[in-house]
Amino acid sequence: MTNSKKIGVLAFQGDVLEHINATRQAAKNSNLTCGIIEVRTKEQLSDLDALIIPGGESTVLQKLCERANIFEDMKKIKNIFGTCAGTITLAKTINNKEVGQRTLGLMDIEVDRNAYGRQAESFEQDLDTKLGRIHAIFIRAPKIKKIGNSVKILAKNDNEIIICEQKVNGNYYLAATFHPELTTTVFHEYFLRQIYI
Ligand code: GLN
């Protein structure tokens, strides 16, 4: 049995429970032990091995993190998995941003917010990924328009990158424009594998 790791799910909005359940199931499938906690405070963030940032609304997410005074500290987490608004939060560059919108700027990706259009343009799609075929749900999703040299693509939908990863300075980031927590645990399992290496 490997040592146990502590994984936090940012718990202000979005699929918090779904991410907790997907992570728990992923750990079970991978025979790994981990503690999973909801994160809303500096204390809860302080000794995490990894953080999951769920979807939601990136501008609101930023404000809630700033109000809790954890936005800057999130940059210190070594392993981060962002989905949808979480991906926007990880990105170095965002287009179509709100006035005053900032990101953690950790991952070398350029992201267009709300690139598929309004909420009504949300969609579901079966598609192939490096981890097999999945059912992907896109909810007012962003598009990843550009990636840096060290960013690796794990799946595309038509020509759009929908999930990618980057190892940089000993840190690991995984970013999805869709919501894996709703339909599959394969990416949570993949994320855990990077943490337990
Ligand atoms: N449109 C949202 C944003 O700009 C992201 C949507 C989502 O996380 N499902 O943050």
Give residue-wise pLDDT tens across range 44-102.
999 999 999 999 999 999 999 999 999 999 999 999 999 999 999 999 999 999 999 99
pTM, two decimals, is 0.96
Segment 128-155 shows an average pLDDT of: 97
Q: Where are the domains of the chain?
A: 5-196
Pocket-forming residues, ligand 1, beta carbon under 6 Å: 55-58, 84-85, 88, 113-114, 139-140
Other beta carbons within 10 angstroms of residue 102's beta carbon come to: 14
Nearest ligand 1 atom to the CA of 59 is: 10
> Closest ligand 1 atom to the C-alpha of 14?
8
CATH of the domain spanning 5-196, picked from 3.30.830.10, 3.40.50.880, 3.40.50.300, 3.40.50.970: 3.40.50.880
DSSP H or E stretch at residue 50: strand 50-53
Spell out where 58-178 has E strands: 79-83, 91-95, 107-112, 123-129, 132-138, 143-147, 151-157, 160-168, 171-176
Expressed in angstroms and rounded, the spacing between residue 186 Cα and the centre of ligand 1 is 22
Which residues are bridge partners to 27 per DSSP? none
What SS3 class is residue 193? helix
